[in-house]
Structure 1
Amino acid sequence: MVRSVLRPNSGAAGSDNEYQEDPLFTRSIARALDVLSAFHYSDRPLSLSELAHSAQIDRSAAQRIVHTLRKLGYIRRDEQGRGFLPGIRTLDHTLDYLRLHPLVRRATPVLLELRRNVRERVDLSLFDDLRVVYAARMQSKRETFHATLVGHSVPTFCSSGGRAILSCLEDAEVADIIARSDRTPFTPKTLTDPGAIRDKVAEAREKGYALTLEEILIGEIAIGIALPDSSGRPCGAIHLAGSLSEWEPEEFMARFAPLISEAAADICR
């Protein structure tokens, strides 16, 4: 499996072994979703054999699943006939998830206004254990194609929004998430020592927001603040990112920390 800054491992189980004792668990559905999940780490069409290998099923089972998913519009042949790609029906479920998620609905108008005021990249992420997943991305003038797509994710332990979320959790849960994370560095500046990461989490608790410098991308400075659900548990975060070629860290914090804090308060209200 290829490690990617765009989709780090969520820590979720990759097989249905742990559900063997669950009488309601439907393995055929799980296998179909395993086939669709094969595309998570691919940058090209996949052959039937590659889909079978990724889903850990035999080629015959993969052929039946792919045939069914093609009929339903969830898998398609690529234009050159070199393999299979996700189908357009998968977008229907993305739309359903985003439009029905209460935090996304509340946050979007606030973040649009924040983006107009700051003219830097503004993102909304959702907490998913070892990673935070982008549910809204409002690009600045510097962004690439990949930086505009929802569904990309970054690790909780080394991202600004992720650390802000950790700062709202109990120490035992923070330690557990750090311990289970793949702490392979993305840049020479990525903090990987558990003690150093906990120190940054403690700093975020004190300040009310987290600041990261070049831990995901070289030249990037980012500030993050957690967003709670109705019970008070953090369920997402706002990320605001800029370039170190344009901002000194202290200047960036002084300029944007009050604005991102105000946006978070508006969303919570």
Structure 2
Amino acid sequence: MTSVKEPVNGQEGELTPEESADPSGKARAKEGMAGLAKGLAIIEAFGASTARMTVSDAAHLADLSRPAARRCLLTLVDLGYLAHDGKFFTPLPRMLRLGSAYLSTSSLTQIAQPLLTSARDELHESVSLAVLDEGYSVFIARAEAVRIVSTGVKLGGRLPAYCSATGRVLLSGLSEEEIRHHLDATPMKHLTTRTLATTNTVLRAIALAAQNGYAISNEELEIGMSAMAVPVRNRSGAIEAAVSVSVFSGRVSVETLEEKFLPVLKAVAARLQRAL
């Protein structure tokens, strides 16, 4: 296995000024490992829209120099997390271990799974649980409806918070300053002609979610797809997660979501809240 060493300055393990900040520009403790931070930034850059990367792609997405990105990618290949065909780097199954460490120890996902499955069986649509992570909704539990064409994202998938039902619900419990911080973390753009992609329109949509106790994203992520989400609060009343259902908008109208699906999602959220 190839060993990749990060340069140090002075005492062994001491970070240079450039290394004392992670790729996002945040200060990091002196004891932090710059190489690890860079590698994790590249791992996090993989997603549905970036299933494979070149060195240039990784450098751009993780905000690294090309040599640093290349060292990190080759190290991940050596460790069995990535495959390399000479140009592109792609994730291998071992990458699943990183996410499963959280999913297998989170009591929230363990409690939620049977409830999501029950709701899926009642609604005949896919039902999910998501949490907020730096401007994105991350799906940590899911009960998938069996269909020829699946709806929504898979377990571990991420959606921009500004235009997703789960994201707006998760943001609705925060202060305006905190909301703006999350919105700034993800550049807003029109994914469809229906996408709300300006700060003022998104803030109004989040305020409406807070007022109504639920949010609907109607063909904002993809034409023909809609979703509804409700909050799950912890014992202190803060929003900890969001339960959502994703549907084909041609089969399930917004009116049906509000009249028939909303009570089921609220019941799931209430049972989760009692268990937290």
**TM-score bin (small chain):** 0.7 to 0.9
Q: Measure, in 2, the Cα distance between the counterparts of 1:34 and 1:163.
A: 25
The question of whether the paired residues in 2 share the 8 Å contact of 1:137 and 1:148 is answered with no
**1:73 counterpart = 2:100:** no
Q: Which moved more, 1:35-44 or 1:82-91?
A: 35-44
TM-score calculated relative to the size of structure 1: 0.79
Return closer, same or farther for 1:175/1:118 CA change in 2, 3 Å cut-off. same
**1:138 counterpart = 2:146:** no
The question of whether the paired residues in 2 share the 8 Å contact of 1:16 and 1:30 is answered with no
Map 1:25-104 to 2 at 5 A.
Answer: 25-37=32-44, 39-40=46-47, 42-44=50-52, 46-47=53-54, 51=58, 56-59=64-67, 65-78=72-85, 83-104=88-109
The question of whether the paired residues in 2 share the 8 Å contact of 1:211 and 1:222 is answered with yes
**1:106 counterpart = 2:114:** no
- Per-residue deviation at 1:30? 1.7
Q: Measure, in 2, the Cα distance between the counterparts of 1:100 and 1:201.
A: 31
Partner of 1:24: 31
Residue in structure 1 matching 2:216, options 199, 204, 211: 211
Q: Which one-letter code corresponds to 1:225 in the other structure?
A: V
The question of whether the paired residues in 2 share the 8 Å contact of 1:139 and 1:148 is answered with no
Return closer, same or farther for 1:96/1:230 CA change in 2, 3 Å cut-off. farther
Partner of 1:159: 164
Q: Which one-letter code corresponds to 1:19 in the other structure?
A: A
TM-score calculated relative to the size of structure 2: 0.78
Q: Measure, in 1, the Cα distance between the counterparts of 2:25 and 2:183.
A: 25
Q: Measure, in 1, the Cα distance between the counterparts of 2:196 and 2:239.
A: 22
The total of aligned residue pairs comes to 252
Any gaps of 5 or more consecutive residues in structure 1?
A: 1-12
**1:129 counterpart = 2:129:** no
The question of whether the paired residues in 1 share the 8 Å contact of 2:22 and 2:34 is answered with no
- Per-residue deviation at 1:139? 2.8
SS across alignment from 1:184? coil
The question of whether the paired residues in 2 share the 8 Å contact of 1:211 and 1:224 is answered with yes
SS across alignment from 1:246? coil
Q: Which moved more, 1:139-148 or 1:122-131?
A: 139-148
The question of whether the paired residues in 2 share the 8 Å contact of 1:137 and 1:147 is answered with no
The percent of aligned pairs where both chains have the same amino acid is: 28
SS across alignment from 1:73? coil
Return closer, same or farther for 1:48/1:227 CA change in 2, 3 Å cut-off. same
Q: Which one-letter code corresponds to 1:23 in the other structure?
A: K
Q: Which one-letter code corresponds to 1:239 in the other structure?
A: S
Q: Which one-letter code corresponds to 1:18 in the other structure?
A: K
- Per-residue deviation at 1:111? 0.4
Q: Which one-letter code corresponds to 1:70 in the other structure?
A: V
Return closer, same or farther for 1:201/1:71 CA change in 2, 3 Å cut-off. closer
Any gaps of 5 or more consecutive residues in structure 2?
A: 1-20
Q: Which moved more, 1:211-220 or 1:49-58?
A: 49-58
Q: Which one-letter code corresponds to 1:95 in the other structure?
A: S
Q: Which one-letter code corresponds to 1:42 in the other structure?
A: T
Which one scores higher on RCO, CA 8 angstroms, separation ≥ 6? 1
The question of whether the paired residues in 1 share the 8 Å contact of 2:55 and 2:66 is answered with no
Q: Measure, in 2, the Cα distance between the counterparts of 1:62 and 1:191.
A: 34
Return closer, same or farther for 1:72/1:256 CA change in 2, 3 Å cut-off. same
Q: Which one-letter code corresponds to 2:99 in the other structure?
A: T
Return closer, same or farther for 1:162/1:63 CA change in 2, 3 Å cut-off. closer
Return closer, same or farther for 1:143/1:176 CA change in 2, 3 Å cut-off. farther
Q: Measure, in 2, the Cα distance between the counterparts of 1:63 and 1:170.
A: 40
**1:225 counterpart = 2:233:** no
Return closer, same or farther for 1:172/1:82 CA change in 2, 3 Å cut-off. closer
Residue in structure 1 matching 2:23, options 7, 12, 15: 15
